[in-house]
């Protein structure tokens, strides 16, 4: 009798395990394209804006989202008069979606990488924004593509990078060329233009606004990042509109700014390049476009005009061009 009972229990456990596996498989039955569409809707809050960003029709976007919700077995958005807001399940899935999208991008980059015989030493100067948000992944990509090339990296102020290149101390600079001085002895090229958007907490009144102007932002408590000449850049575009932000906190820590935005303490305007939808504490941050002319943050390379691009490295230049342009949001 005990043997029969054990067999019945084993069969019951097998049925349960198979049911759980079926649920798991069903929950994974979605595509990378659906994940990317979901991220676009989560960040824009509207089907129309997300469809425009992804270059598809609104009906195709709606169908894709419905399929994703069916696959996951839950609603990811709550509908309201001005668009969509993430549900509790949607908030949880967004973090996974960002990781899935990032992993897929990295996998594609890995498959495209082929070692290049370029050798020697390359001395690169970078500013703090580049060092924090581009250099870790860029350095790894460079070493994979050019394994025989010795990289010497140096973080400096932008004007110091320019002078070091002119003096022959550095071969190449990766800087915010939108800040760069017009020097006769330095040549440069823009590789990436990163739009600046308003960052707010999901519950902030401007998060659901159809359009946001700098005048709207000027009436909010503003958090100002003091990093890589950002203060001077912000001052210029505010002054062009005859406005002044109500700055309640200025900091060199972007993580501090990010956390305060997520907590609803204030708002800020920053580049997509440094955007992340979560603060260190797990609070969420959403982006909204500003209809006034806010300049892009332009990343590029600079080198000595007299010495030319280092190593005459056309493959290096093309690689930097392709790699940095892939970072566009």
| Domain residue ranges of the chain, discontinuous segments joined by + | 31-110, 113-194+298-325, 196-295
The secondary structure element, H or E, covering residue 325 is helix 314-325
Q: Note the residue count of the chain.
A: 329
pLDDT at position 146: 87
Angle (CA) 175-179-180 rounded to 5° is 70
Q: Which of 81, 83, 92 is nearest to 27 (CA)?
A: 92
Same topology for domains 113-194+298-325 and 196-295, yes or no? Answer: yes
Q: What is the pTM for the complete model shown?
A: 0.68
Round to the nearest angstrom and report the end-to-end CA distance of the chain. 65
Distance CA 35, CA 95 (A): 11
Report the topology of domain 196-295.
Answer: D-Maltodextrin-Binding Protein; domain 2 (3.40.190)
Whole-Å CA distances, 295 to 177, 194, 211? 12, 9, 17
Kindly report the CATH number that applies to the domain delimited by 31-110.
1.10.10.10
Distance CA 200, CA 212 (A): 12
Q: Which of 277, 267, 261 is nearest to 40 (CA)?
A: 277
Q: Which of 244, 225, 221 is nearest to 297 (CA)?
A: 225
Strands 246-251, 221-225: pairing kind: parallel
pLDDT at position 101: 83
Taking residue 55's Cβ as centre, other Cβ atoms within 10 Å add up to 6
- Local confidence pLDDT in tens for the 329 residues of the chain: 444 544 554 444 444 444 443 444 444 578 989 999 999 888 888 888 888 888 888 898 999 999 999 989 899 988 876 678 888 888 888 888 888 887 777 776 665 556 777 888 989 999 988 888 888 888 888 888 888 889 899 999 999 999 999 999 999 999 998 877 668 899 988 888 888 999 999 999 998 877 799 999 999 999 999 988 899 999 999 999 999 999 999 999 999 999 999 999 999 999 988 888 888 888 889 888 898 889 989 898 999 999 988 876 677 878 887 777 665 54
pLDDT at position 317: 79
Distance CA 35, CA 139 (A): 28
Report the topology of domain 113-194+298-325.
Answer: D-Maltodextrin-Binding Protein; domain 2 (3.40.190)
């Amino acid at each position: 009798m005990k043997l029969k009972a054990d067999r019945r229990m084993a069969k019951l456990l097998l049925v349960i395990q198979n049911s759980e596996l079926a649920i798991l498989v069903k929950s994974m039955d979605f595509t990378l394209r659906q994940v990317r569409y979901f991220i676009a809707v989560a960040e824009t809050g509207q089907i129309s804006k997300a469809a425009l960003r992804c270059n598809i029709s609104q009906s195709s976007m709606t169908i894709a989202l419905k399929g994703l919700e069916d696959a996951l077995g839950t609603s990811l958005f709550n509908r309201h008069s001005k668009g969509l807001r993430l549900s509790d399940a949607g908030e949880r899935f967004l973090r996974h979606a960002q990781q899935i999208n990032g992993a897929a991008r990295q996998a594609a980059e890995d498959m495209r990488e082929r070692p290049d015989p370029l050798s020697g030493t390359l001395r690169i100067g970078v500013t703090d924004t580049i060092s924090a948000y581009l250099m870790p992944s860029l350095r790894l990509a460079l070493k994979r593509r050019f394994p025989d090339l010795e990289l010497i990296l140096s973080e400096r102020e932008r004007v110091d990078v320019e002078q070091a290149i002119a003096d022959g101390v550095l071969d190449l600079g990766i800087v915010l060329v939108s800040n760069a001085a017009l020097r006769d002895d330095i040549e440069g090229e823009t590789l990436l233009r990163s739009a600046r958007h308003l960052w707010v907490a999901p519950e902030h009144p401007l998060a659901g606004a159809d359009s946001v102007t700098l005048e709207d932002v000027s009436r909010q408590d503003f958090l100002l990042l003091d990093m890589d000449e950002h203060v001077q850049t912000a001052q210029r575009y505010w002054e062009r509109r005859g406005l002044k932000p109500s700055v309640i906190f200025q900091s060199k820590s972007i993580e501090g700014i990010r956390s305060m935005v997520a907590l609803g303490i204030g708002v800020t305007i920053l580049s997509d390049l440094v955007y992340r939808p979560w603060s260190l504490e797990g609070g969420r941050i959403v982006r909204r476009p500003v209809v006034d002319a806010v300049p892009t943050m332009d990343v590029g390379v600079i080198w000595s005009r007299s010495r030319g691009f280092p190593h005459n490295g056309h493959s290096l230049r093309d690689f930097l061009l392709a790699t940095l342009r892939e970072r566009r949001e």
